[in-house]
Structure 1
């Protein structure tokens, strides 16, 4: 189970190109502008200026998704959260948004409409929550 990380990016919303480039950085673990640009241009149907990749990498850094280090004459970007941590943050934010509705009748109506597979999934989640809480108490 991926725990919710202590660190969170400053801005969670990402555009399609930002998401694509972040995915590339996660796959490469560390990348230069050229690495990312080459990966995108590996698709013969794609065109994207080198400068556009640089701009998006800088934006992702400003939003708190990436860090940038200079090694010699090359800038290298690394993710500040893993892909699984990002998924945990996204799920947490969505759940908080859903619960912020604050109307128990709406939440209950939603829960009542779930199919059997979803109910089983919720039961499994509840068991994991209980196990995680027990483990924390034992420490």
Structure 2
């Protein structure tokens, strides 16, 4: 089981354009504003100002999703976490929100309404957790 990354962005919530641009960066790697702008404009039905891309890149940097460095006269951005790490962080946050309900009756009622495949998946997760904890105790 892969652990959660040590680093977490300062702010997890993202708007639709921020998410779109972050997905482009995960696909391309280290990018300039021009790279992102051209990727978005590859869709002939899309319009987006170059300055808007720059604004979103700066916003993602402030939120902790990107790092920025200057090379020559150009600025380049790269993600601080991988897409898989971001998904793990998001799943962890959602699980904590769900468990924070604190009312066992609500959680039990939710679990009671799951289909058989979901219940089996929960059992598999519980077994994996037990195996990881046992392996950790043996160390």
Task: Give the TM-score range, shorter chain.
Answer: over 0.9
The aligned counterpart of 2:118 is 118
Q: Under a length normalisation based on structure 2, what TM-score does the superposition of the two structures give?
A: 0.95
Q: 1:83: how far off? A: 0.4
Number of residue pairs matched? 139
| Range with bigger deviation, 89-98 or 120-129 | 120-129
With over 3 angstroms needed to count, the CA separation of the structure-2 counterparts of 1:34 and 1:98, relative to structure 1, is same
Question: What's the secondary structure of 1:78's corresponding residue?
Answer: strand
**Structure 2: 5+ residue stretches without partners:** none
Question: What's the secondary structure of 2:59's corresponding residue?
Answer: helix
Q: 1:95: how far off? A: 0.8
Question: What's the secondary structure of 1:45's corresponding residue?
Answer: coil
User: How far apart, in 2, do the equivalents of 1:73 and 1:136 lie?
Assistant: 49
The question of whether the paired residues in 2 share the 8 Å contact of 1:2 and 1:84 is answered with no
The CA RMSD over aligned residues, in Å, is 1.1
1:31 aligns with 2:31: yes
Map Cα deviations across residues 98-128 of structure 1 (whole Å, 9 max, x no partner).
1111100001111111110001111121122
Alignment of 1:1-139 (within 5 A): 1-139=1-139
**Structure 1: 5+ residue stretches without partners:** none
Map Cα deviations across residues 69-117 of structure 1 (whole Å, 9 max, x no partner).
1011111101001101111111111111111111000011111111100
User: How far apart, in 1, do the equivalents of 2:100 and 2:132 lie?
Assistant: 24
